[in-house]
Structure 1
Amino acid sequence: MKRMLMLVPLAIFLLIAVFLYKGLFLNPSDIGSTMIGKPLPEFSLASLETPERKVTVADFQELPALLNVWATWCPTCKAEHAMLNKLAAQGVVVYGVNYKDDSDAARQWLAQLGNPYRFSVEDPEGSLGINLGVYGAPETFVIDRKGIVRDKFVGAIDERIWRERLAPLYQSLVDEQ
């Protein structure tokens, strides 16, 4: 009986080790989203570019599109920004959500680094971010012609991520007519 009791800690250790080992092979940018397959949530927020203008889901006229959650306090967003400018220059439709940020700093940032967004909404309290299930910035959602979220990517979009994951989906949504 005493020998069996001595095996209990070993069994617990092995069980924990299996879970930790499995975690080594998870992709941290593949968090998933409860929004996949659902329409963008309703909102009414100020436009970053024109604060007196209220933006709603109805303002997302050009779809499919990318919806990029960004902030000036986010160093990864700054690293991603050049890629977003490049995509916008190639005709990819990109909308922005300025997440829990200072509006003046955000406008200055876009003036200095370029503005890839058709428009950005101010989300100073993070209410839209909460409704989208945002964990932080940057996060990018792929939206189809009907305003349905088709994919979510957490982290910076770079050439590889665009080419291998997002571009094929985006192009297939553009080709749907």
Structure 2
Amino acid sequence: MAKISPMMALPVVVFAGFVGLAFVGMGREDPENLPSAREGKAAPAVALSDFPGKESFANETLRDGEVKLVNYWASWCGPCRAEHPSLTALSEEGVAIYGVNYKDQLGNAQSFLEELGDPYAGVGRDENGRMALDWGLYGVPETYVIDGEGTIVLRFAGPITAKVLEQTIRPAMEKAAE
């Protein structure tokens, strides 16, 4: 019987390791749900530049006793465009949504809102991404459900679709209202 050298066995061992990691990853409850260290904690400080012609928001806004959303978006973000009708529908229902325009050029961001409408009760610019770092942003779009005391109840990474709205965002808003 021929002996297998350690060098010949290495690829098999590495492959087996990858297979093991894949099985562990598939066992997760929701593979699209990214963990957030911020949920259950106070929302980090709001540090935004003005968005000309728009109402801004501040730390106090997030602690005004009402449930609200904070939505990070950018004009260059395709999924932000896709989720915009869901944000508009929420806004028309009276949900306060505060927008953070992330690393965007002002003219492009203004054109985005002019074209699609402005669902935001307040909006500011995070030109260099510093606020996003403090909030633990993975990318845009990303939406946070904030309770009336300013605590993050949910962080959702990705576009808010009709399904996400009904199965994730609305339940989190109900929880935040308790």
TM-score computed with the length of structure 1 as normaliser: 0.86
Tell me if 1:82 matches 2:85.
Answer: yes
Name the CA distance, whole Å, in 2 between partners of 1:78 and 1:38.
29
User: Which of 169, 172, 175 is equivalent to 1:169?
Assistant: 172
Q: Deviations over 1:51-109 (max 9, x none)?
A: 7x874211333621111100001011001101100111112221111000112221222
Coordinate RMSD, CA, aligned: 2.4
* Native 8 Å contact 1:35 1:149 kept in 2: yes
Gaps of 5+ in 2: none
Q: What's 1:134 paired with? A: 137
1:11 offset after TM fit, Å?
Answer: 2.8
Tell me whether 20-29 or 103-112 shows the greater mean CA deviation: 20-29
* Native 8 Å contact 1:94 1:116 kept in 2: yes
User: Which of 73, 86, 94 is equivalent to 2:76?
Assistant: 73
Name the CA distance, whole Å, in 1 between partners of 2:41 and 2:52.
28
Gaps of 5+ in 1: none
Q: What's 1:56 paired with? A: 58
User: Which of 102, 111, 114 is equivalent to 1:99?
Assistant: 102
Map 1:17-32 to 2 at 5 A. 17-23=19-25, 27=30, 29-32=32-35
Q: Percent identity?
A: 32
TM-score computed with the length of structure 2 as normaliser: 0.86
